[in-house]
Amino acid sequence: MHRALRWIRNVVVSLVVLLLIIVATVYALSERIIRRTYDEPLVPVAVPTDSASITEGGRLALVHGCRGCHMKDLSGQWFEDDFLIGRLAAPNLTEAAQKYSDAELVRLIRHGVRPDGKSVLAMPSEMFTPLTDADLGAIIAYIRSVAAVPGLSRTVQLGPMARFGLVTGQYEPSAVWVHKVDSVTASGYYPVADQPNALGAYLARTSCTECHGLTLNGDFGPNLRIAAGYTREQFAHFFATGEAQGGRELPLMSVMARNRFSHFTDEEESALYAYLVARASAQDQPAP
């Protein structure tokens, strides 16, 4: 009996020690990932000051999601507040505007790199990397035009699941995702410049990849080839309301559509639809 109890005790102690070693290892490895610095140069863009550009920047900040995660008044909100995942704040952008230079904001938005060289976490910088200088400059102009308001300061307190996800590659810092975008761009996957459907591709890259993946083949959301199943009129209704064919209410898309995509211009919406339909047709073609 005593031998059995000692054996059980030794097994329990061994398991506890093993668990502590695993926890310590995950913590150390995740801290190494979090503290890694990235050598991204400071490259400024022209930031306009005229009222028309600032107004357009406010619209772009809606369309591309800045005023979704950071709230319409830019005061910030909790992105995650969970023991297992952690506490992550989409911080007050009016506070960031006071602390960061234009070039630092560009690097943060486009490359996911903070002034100290470390990467932000959970920010979809991979969606903002392709933003043109003109659009990014207008967004920064808008952010700087908003009067300072009280809100949430930057908070990054990762829980055990998030740390484990970082170590196993399930989650990655934003700066890492940006380099994946560079690979997709270099592959010629998206039409650019004067190629057909370049505007629609640009809008898809900078508005849709957050949920549908870097190549729009599906992530949290489905492969966007489904757009080909909509007429132009049906797509306009869906894009403004998030209501799919058959009157189906899609909760996440409904929020995105009403708060973000309903602010697309008719030209932008038509260009996006044309690109998605052309893309679906290309995917349906047999391999050569």
φ/ψ (deg, to 5) at 216:
65, 15
Query: Does residue 273 share a domain with residue 227?
Result: yes
Query: Does residue 228 share a domain with residue 166?
Result: no
Give the range among 3-17, 94-108, 193-207, 213-227 with minimum mean pLDDT.
3-17
CA 165 to CA 85: how far, in whole Å? 9
Residue 218, sorted as left (phi over 0), alpha (psi -120 to 50) or beta, turns out to be left
Longest dimension (CA), the chain: 85
Bridge partners of 89, per DSSP, are: 78
Q: Is residue 11 part of a domain?
A: no
Query: Does residue 193 share a domain with residue 167?
Result: no
Q: 153: burial class by Cβ within 10 Å (0-12, 13-18, 19+)? A: exposed
Q: Is the pLDDT of residue 287 over 70?
A: no
Q: Is residue 20 part of a domain?
A: no
Mean pLDDT on 222-226: 91
Q: Is the pLDDT of residue 100 over 70?
A: yes
Which residue range is the domain that position 119 belongs to?
Answer: 51-171
Q: What angle do CA 275, 281, 282 make, to 5 degrees?
A: 90
| Tokens standing for residue 183 | 């690979």
Q: Which helix (H) or strand (E) holds 133?
A: helix 133-145
CA 265 to CA 263: how far, in whole Å? 6
Number of structural domains (the chain) is 2
Q: Is residue 261 part of a domain?
A: yes
**Model pTM?**
0.89
The CATH number of the domain holding residue 200 is 1.10.760.10
Query: Does residue 218 share a domain with residue 155?
Result: no
Distance of alpha carbon 90 from its chain centroid, rounded? 11
Residue type, 233: E
Mean pLDDT on 77-85: 88
Residue where one domain finishes, among candidates 171, 200, 232: 171
| pLDDT given at position 284 | 67
Could you tell me the pLDDT band of residue 111, with boundaries at 50, 70 and 90?
Answer: very high
Query: Does residue 58 share a domain with residue 117?
Result: yes
Work out the mean pLDDT of the chain and round it to a whole number.
90
CA 223 to CA 182: how far, in whole Å? 21
Query: Does residue 228 share a domain with residue 161?
Result: no
For residue 34, give the 3-state DSSP assignment: helix
Beta-sheet pairing, 86-90 with 77-82: antiparallel
